[in-house]
């Protein structure tokens, strides 16, 4: 194993980790604020990719503008979906789950219908490589890594320091008390859901030039997100980050070394965690 390949695996590991973290953060925030688990999250990620594709390729906009637009659109769509479909049944655990299944089917089915099942792609936005003492870094991936880090910090900052973010954390801790303090719980839950979707869409948009785009691309990513969230502990942000890096690097190594079968290791780790320590590394809920 050359130094070259190790570095490549490491960079891919970082990139995958950050993508998983973005998506998983979205899932985690949605769970914290609405107490629901959504099986449609993968499709939100997928739509992020597709909208970026539509804006960048079909409408010819600059990639970054396309990305921001896609995120904004998914934020709105997320809020819309929550308000119309989820909000009336938030207290019913199983129906919410099944609803999310239905929504995921409709979303991926619609995309297959409207845009076709063939793989799409966005041409590389940042061509070129950087050469640091003999090791080659693809500029594109570096930009993606950089952008993800900035965004993740931004989101964490928002939840810690901004009034709205703090209000949402209050809702996550204790919705009833939050309501008593005058926080509009229902509306913020909708916004929180939108943010969760925006995060997933961000990952989708950032990965759009790197991975291929097809209607069922969301499933694999969603599963990884679940693995990350459960590994790290449901409800724990630091857990998501730790879990994201673990799975990201695990995947990068196994996929490079053994190909697609490498996905199995993530699953096995996941099954083990669920059976042995369901609350994950940092979590409180079992």
Distance of CA 155 to the CA centre of its chain: 13
Task: Mark 195-234 with x for binding to other proteins (rule: CB under 8 A) and - for no binding.
Answer: ----------------------------x--xx--x----
**Dihedral angle of Cα 54, 58, 64, 66, to the nearest 10 degrees:** -40
Least Å from the CB of residue 16 to other proteins: 18
If residue 135 lies in a helix (H) or strand (E), which one and from where to where?
strand 135-138
Choose among 205, 208, 19, 207: nearest CA to 121.
208
For tokens 């699953």, name the residue: 267
DSSP string covering 38-84: -TTHHHHHHHHHHHHHIIIIIS---HHHHHHHHHHHHHHHHHHHIII
**Which residue, 82 or 141, is less far from other proteins as judged by CB?**
82
Least Å from the CB of residue 241 to other proteins: 18
| Binding of residue 173 to other proteins (CB under 8 A) | no
Task: Mark 235-274 with x for binding to other proteins (rule: CB under 8 A) and - for no binding.
Answer: --------------------------x-xx--xx-xx--x
CB atoms within 10 A of CB 213: 22
Among 109, 146, 149, 173, binds other proteins (CB under 8 A): 109
CB atoms within 10 A of CB 64: 14
| Binding of residue 68 to other proteins (CB under 8 A) | no
Q: What is the C-alpha to C-alpha distance for residues 250 and 16, in angstroms, rounded to an integer?
A: 10
Length of the chain: 286
Q: What is the C-alpha to C-alpha distance for residues 213 and 122, in angstroms, rounded to an integer?
A: 9
Q: What is the C-alpha to C-alpha distance for residues 17 and 29, in angstroms, rounded to an integer?
A: 18
Binding span for other proteins by CB under 8 A among 3-11, 13-21, 54-62, 105-113: 105-113
Q: Which two tokens stand for residue 181?
A: 């303090």
| Binding of residue 179 to other proteins (CB under 8 A) | no
Least Å from the CB of residue 274 to other proteins: 5
Q: What is the C-alpha to C-alpha distance for residues 227 and 225, in angstroms, rounded to an integer?
A: 5
Least Å from the CB of residue 144 to other proteins: 27
| Binding of residue 154 to other proteins (CB under 8 A) | no
Residues 28-67, interacting with other proteins (CB under 8 A): 37, 39
Least Å from the CB of residue 89 to other proteins: 7
Number of residues that bind other proteins (CB under 8 A): 47
Give the interface with other proteins as residue ranges (CB under 8 A). Answer: 37, 39, 79-80, 83-85, 87-89, 93-95, 97-99, 101-110, 112-113, 164, 184, 187, 190, 223, 226-227, 230, 261, 263-264, 267-268, 270-271, 274-275, 278, 284
């Amino acid at each position: 194993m050359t130094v070259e390949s190790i570095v490549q695996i490491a960079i891919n590991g970082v990139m995958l980790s950050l993508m998983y973290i973005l998506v998983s953060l979205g899932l985690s925030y949605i769970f914290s604020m609405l107490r629901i688990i959504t099986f449609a999250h993968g499709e939100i990620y997928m739509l992020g990719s597709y909208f970026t594709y539509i804006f960048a390729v079909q409408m010819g906009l600059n990639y970054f503008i396309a990305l921001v637009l896609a995120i904004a659109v998914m934020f709105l769509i997320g809020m819309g979906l929550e308000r119309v479909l989820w909000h009336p049944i938030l207290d019913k655990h199983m129906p919410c789950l099944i609803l999310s299944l239905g929504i995921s089917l409709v979303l991926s089915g619609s995309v297959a219908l409207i845009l076709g099942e063939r793989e799409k792609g966005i041409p590389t936005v940042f061509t070129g490589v950087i050469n640091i003492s003999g090791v080659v870094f693809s500029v594109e991936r570096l930009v993606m890594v950089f952008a993800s880090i900035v965004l993740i910090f931004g989101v964490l900052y928002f939840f810690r320091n901004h009034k709205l973010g703090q209000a949402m954390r209050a809702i996550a801790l204790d919705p009833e008390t939050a309501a008593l303090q005058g926080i509009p719980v229902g509306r913020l839950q909708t916004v929180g859901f939108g943010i969760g979707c925006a995060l997933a869409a961000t990952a989708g948009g950032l990965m759009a030039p790197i991975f291929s785009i097809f209607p069922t691309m969301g499933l694999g990513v969603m599963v990884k997100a679940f693995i990350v969230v459960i590994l790290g502990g449901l409800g724990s942000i630091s857990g998501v980050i730790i879990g994201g890096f673990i799975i990201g690097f695990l995947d990068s190594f196994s996929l490079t070394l053994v190909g697609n079968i490498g996905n199995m290791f993530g699953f096995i780790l996941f099954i083990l965690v669920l059976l042995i320590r369901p609350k994950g590394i940092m979590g409180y809920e079992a």
